[in-house]
Every structure is written in C-alpha cells, then in structure tokens.
A and B are shown apart, each in its own frame.
Chain A
C-alpha cells in the first residue's frame, strides 16, 4: 500500500471514530439534561437571536456541564468534514499534485470563512 492509500485509510478512520466520539459526547450531554416530564422544545417555537459565545459563557458560569459536553460533541462533529478537507489537501501534496492541493486548501479556507461569518453576523 503506498503512502497516498495509507493516508486515505487514515482519513476514513478519523471520520468513523470521530463520528462515534462526537455522538457519545452528545448522548452523554443529552442524558445529563433530559427531563421526561416536560416539553424541551417549548422555548424553540419562536426564533431568538442568541450567539453561541453568550450561551457558552452563561453555561460556564452556571457550571452547566450537560450543555458544555453537548457543545463539545457538536464542535467535534462539525470539525470532522473540515479536518477531512485539510487532510485531503495534504494527501494531494504528498502525491505531488499542487493544483488539486490548492483547490482543497481553498475549500478549507472557504469553510473557515463561513464560520467567521456566523461569528461576525
């Protein structure tokens, strides 16, 4: 198996185990905050503008570990495809294909820009 094929398999493993890890975190966070006798969606009928960093700040102050663990799982999950794009760019560099590596890194930068837009707006 050559280096490129090894890296492709590594990408596959990162995705597979990453999904399991993030799913586990989200399940733990959900189980810690679950309430069987109430409707957890009552507060989500209407849309409220409440940026992530406010939610994290208040969760940290209140030591709401359930929410923080859930968010950790979300970060891992969303990070997986982004990491996959970066690893694919490195794969193409190792194969000597600079053009396709540049395209992959462009996609990586575009995704990071998209996240920045969510932060800024």
Chain B
C-alpha cells in the first residue's frame, strides 16, 4: 500500500514538475519526510536520483532542438560540480533540523520566484571569457530563423552555479530555479536557452553528489527505485500534456501548496 502510494506520488511529482518546469526534488523531499516519515538524508539522496532521471530524459530533447548551449553548460558545470562536492562534504555536519529549515526557506523562495514574471532581456555585449571560449550562440526561432545571442557576466554566473551546486547536494534538488535566475538576469541569456541549458546541467550537478551518497550507502533502492521510475513516467506524460494544460492556473495553485509545505518544513526544523 505504502509503495503504491509512493509510486503514485512520484508519477504526480514528475507530471507536475514537467508542467511547471521544476525538478522532482521540490515535491518529493517534503512528501518523503513529512508523509512517509523517511529520514531527510535518505529523502535527499533518493531525490537526487529523480533529478538525474528527469534531467537526462529531457536533456536529450533539448539537445536535438538545438536550444542547449553546450559550451556554456560545460563551463558552468565546473561551478555546480565543485559546489556539489562542497555541499556533500558539508552535509555530514548539518543536522536534520537545519536541513528542514533551509529546505523550508528554499520552498518559500521558489514560491515567490514562481509568481515573478520572467523577462526576456538580451545581453548587449559578450564578456571577455565568453569571447575567449566562444560561448555566444544561436537558437531556432518560431519561424525557423536563427536568433543569435551573447553572454554577459560569466564569472558571476560561475559563482551562482557554485552556490546552486551546494544547495543541490544539501537538499536533493536540481537548483534549476537558481541556475535559470542566474542565466536570465546576470548572464542575460534568452529564456528558452536558459531553461534548456539549466535542464541539461542539473543532471550533472545531481550526479556529482549522488555518486558520493550512493557509495556512502545513503541511496536506498527501496525508496529510490519507485521514485525514479515514477518520476520518469510522470515526466513523460507531463511533457505531452503541457501544451494543453492551463499552466498559469496550475502554477498559482502550486504556489499556495509550496507556501503551506514551506511552513511545515520550517516548523519541523524549529521543533525537531
């Protein structure tokens, strides 16, 4: 019964995550800890598996659609992977109550960010590092034309990715929200390119710490198995349904849910 409920939850998490542009971690970790009573460390580790599953599946599509800036992704992965290593090392000294608090505030931040409108601003100049590494790119427009773009503030982007990597390893999330924010606002990439490149990167970020958690024995197949399978199935159907769903309405409902769950996680962190 419990396993079936977890599978249904994972499928729903994958479905919702696909529609809302989120990874499964933001839904799964609170459900695993608050509903199933799983220790937060096991929940974080299992969630990282779901992140890898969704990212790897979606990344294939983005690569084929020529939206992902592969060169920029590789550079920014230096920041996220180093951050993930630091996050994994820190996680050994962070208590469960602190993890609950950090996760609770992260959910609150996500709720606020989801209400905010993304602006499609473009970089007017290339940062010198972007020139040297040829990070500027192009992507196909609606009419099939190529739209060229440039990349600003590369060092700031790297620093933001380092912070995103730490959070990913600590909380079992993809940190896609932070990555997209950094690429949208600091590096001033087009929205489609930010989303595709972020999605491409989050799997690598998650694998950096997932490998360590796996070898440490924190990833339990009894939890990660149904979670990963459910997320893969849910994401597949979510991607298909996305075109027909009223994403704005779902987003608003989800913001309310995020705020409620955030309050529960913060409460648990203060009273654990």
Contact = CB atoms under 8 A, between A and B. Distances in A.
Contacts of B63: 8-9, 11-12, 15
Nearest to A85: B204
B98 interface: no
B85 A107 contact: no
Given A12-B63, A100-B133, A115 B212 contact: yes
Contact of A15 (B60, B132, B134): B60
Interface in B44-67: 49, 52-53, 55-57, 59-61, 63-64
Interface in B130-158: 132-134
Contacts of B116: none
Contact of A80 (B42, B56, B225): B56
Contacts of A88: 70, 74
Q: For the side of the interface on A, what is the size category?
A: 35 or more
Q: Is the interface of B mostly helix, strand, loop or mixed?
A: helix
B213 interface: yes
A84 to B, nearest CB: 7
Interface stretch (B1-9, B118-126, B186-194, B238-246): B1-9
B166 to A, nearest CB: 13
A23 B220 contact: no
A3 interface: no
A16 B49 contact: no
B92 interface: yes
B223 interface: yes
Interface string A69-86: 011011101101110110
Given A27-B225, A40-B2, A107-B204, 20 more contacts: A12-B59, A16-B56, A23-B53, A30-B226, A45-B39, A47-B41, A51-B215, A51-B217, A52-B215, A74-B228, A78-B214, A80-B56, A81-B52, A88-B74, A107-B81, A114-B209, A115-B212, A118-B212, A121-B89, A121-B216
